A and B are shown apart, each in its own frame.
Chain A
């Protein structure tokens, strides 16, 4: 196993965030100051292929997207469970392999249920 990471190891990530944030803020401010400002009321309405916009975009949309998001949360959590096993694969031996295969079998059953229910069918 590799050495444990100490908090100092994570400092450069914060440095990188500072550098990136600096770049973003400076660019945003410069472009705000440099660009021309000739605003008209027609220019500032939402674009809808040139016709007058009807209502606004704050309205319900297909439930399918929500379903995909919920399924993602479920499966992604299961996937994260496999990481420690994969890293310690050699230490766990055959017992670990069998246990993880049972876990993956259960996961697969849930996956087949989702498919059979038609949760992922788009028409």
Chain B
């Protein structure tokens, strides 16, 4: 291993990290703008042209607010909760392939932090870790509302992880690989997995909503019952971390969905465009296409948030356990039989 490898990876990771923070920042503005549009309002328009600097103003405000650590709380865990929440949100993007190999400064660089052969399992593991941040933060607050929000969050996240895992198994029957790079490459042309796994995609989408605690599954922060849910006691940047982690999670899960089911950086007519643009700008166009898909998913997340009301808790659990799990198992059986009968062995 050489020093250039380390530098190259650090630079690439920092760029992707900054990019994901930027997308998450502007998602907060987009959320408010889309909410305003759907409710026939104007939305934030004071900070900069069209409210363009609103996320920066919000960020500065978060920094300048007073930090409150309640006396009855567990101080160490109270700080560890939001830190863990944003940490797990930030490391998920390491295995996502952002584009084909690119020629830059006379070198071939992979547009992916690392291509490990258990990429999906890594994502799955990081998603599971996400619940710790909320659980620890909510428990450490020593507030009844926070505790209830945290327990709801934990129980909801683990419940929806099972159908999520099952829907990925059906996808693996089609791809036969756990590496996200392989899966993206297999969808070259217009062979997108969503055409082979429509039901699996739907299950995965619903689970992604539940895992990111987005409406209609945002019971952990159900303000009509639980004040602020698991972050009732939080203020300043610690509250900001919890809110920000949600948007980063949304970005990462959109990227995962785009890669697994919607061809990642592939688009129809890619070979022609690549031969036209050359080895530097061709992959960049692919990356732009992937980001377009991600933005489309983020828009969908927001559209749903401002359209559908929140579930009741028993409805949420019934949907997860009694509908999604049997559906996902049926999907595996169906996919297995069809693959075996149509393709043979």
Residues in B88-116 with C-beta less than 8 Å from chain A: 90-91, 93-95, 113-116
Question: With a CB–CB cut-off of 8 A, which chain A residues contact B90?
Answer: 16, 19-20, 23-24
Q: With A35-B63, A35-B67 as given contacts, are A9 and B114 in contact (CB-CB < 8 Å)?
A: yes
User: CA of A50 to CA of B173 in the docked complex: distance in angstroms?
Assistant: 55
B141 on interface, CB distance cutoff 8 Å: yes
In the assembled complex, how far is the CB of residue A95 from the closest CB belonging to chain B, in whole angstroms?
10
In the assembled complex, how far is the CB of residue A97 from the closest CB belonging to chain B, in whole angstroms?
6
Q: How large is the interface on B (under 10, 10 to 19, 20 to 34, 35 or more residues)?
A: 35 or more
In the assembled complex, how far is the CB of residue B312 from the closest CB belonging to chain A, in whole angstroms?
9
In the assembled complex, how far is the CB of residue A86 from the closest CB belonging to chain B, in whole angstroms?
4
User: CA of A69 to CA of B179 in the docked complex: distance in angstroms?
Assistant: 29
In the assembled complex, how far is the CB of residue B155 from the closest CB belonging to chain A, in whole angstroms?
5
Q: Are B158 and A13 in contact (CB under 8 A)?
A: no
Q: Is the contact region of chain B dominated by helix, strand, or loop, or is it mixed?
A: helix
Q: Are A57 and B173 in contact (CB under 8 A)?
A: no
Q: Are B67 and A31 in contact (CB under 8 A)?
A: yes
In the assembled complex, how far is the CB of residue A56 from the closest CB belonging to chain B, in whole angstroms?
5
Q: With A16-B94, A87-B178 as given contacts, are A94 and B345 in contact (CB-CB < 8 Å)?
A: yes
Q: Are B70 and A44 in contact (CB under 8 A)?
A: yes
In the assembled complex, how far is the CB of residue A120 from the closest CB belonging to chain B, in whole angstroms?
5
B117 on interface, CB distance cutoff 8 Å: yes
Residues in B160-190 with C-beta less than 8 Å from chain A: 161-162, 165-166, 169-170, 172-173, 176-179, 182
Q: With A76-B161, A87-B178 as given contacts, are A47 and B232 in contact (CB-CB < 8 Å)?
A: yes
User: CA of A62 to CA of B325 in the docked complex: distance in angstroms?
Assistant: 24
What mask results when residues 59 to 98 of chain B are scored 1 for a CB within 8 Å of chain A, else 0?
A: 0001111111111110000010001001100110111000
Q: With A20-B87, A61-B151 as given contacts, are A120 and B114 in contact (CB-CB < 8 Å)?
A: no
A117 on interface, CB distance cutoff 8 Å: no
Chain A residue with the shortest CB-CB distance to B156: A68
In the assembled complex, how far is the CB of residue A48 from the closest CB belonging to chain B, in whole angstroms?
7
Q: Are B66 and A89 in contact (CB under 8 A)?
A: no
Question: With a CB–CB cut-off of 8 A, which chain B residues contact A47?
Answer: 143, 145, 227, 232-233
Chain B residue with the shortest CB-CB distance to A54: B144
User: CA of A94 to CA of B343 in the docked complex: distance in angstroms?
Assistant: 12
User: CA of A30 to CA of B236 in the docked complex: distance in angstroms?
Assistant: 11
Q: Are B66 and A97 in contact (CB under 8 A)?
A: no
Q: Is the contact region of chain A dominated by helix, strand, or loop, or is it mixed?
A: helix
Question: With a CB–CB cut-off of 8 A, which chain A residues contact B343?
Answer: 90
Q: Are A2 and B182 in contact (CB under 8 A)?
A: yes
Question: With a CB–CB cut-off of 8 A, which chain A residues contact B317?
Answer: 68, 120, 122
Q: With A16-B94, A94-B345 as given contacts, are A123 and B114 in contact (CB-CB < 8 Å)?
A: no
Q: Are B233 and A69 in contact (CB under 8 A)?
A: no
Q: Are A37 and B66 in contact (CB under 8 A)?
A: yes
| B interface residues, Cβ below 8 angstroms from A | 1, 6, 9-10, 13-14, 17, 21, 62-73, 79, 83, 86-87, 90-91, 93-95, 113-118, 121-122, 139, 141-148, 151, 154-155, 158-159, 161-162, 165-166, 169-170, 172-173, 176-179, 182, 227, 232-233, 236-238, 241, 313-314, 317-318, 321-322, 325-326, 329, 332-333, 336-337, 339-340, 343, 345
Name 18 A/B residue pairs within 8 A (Cβ), A-sorted.
Answer: A5-B117, A10-B114, A11-B114, A16-B113, A31-B238, A46-B141, A47-B143, A47-B145, A48-B144, A48-B145, A83-B121, A86-B172, A87-B177, A90-B176, A94-B345, A97-B337, A101-B336, A111-B325
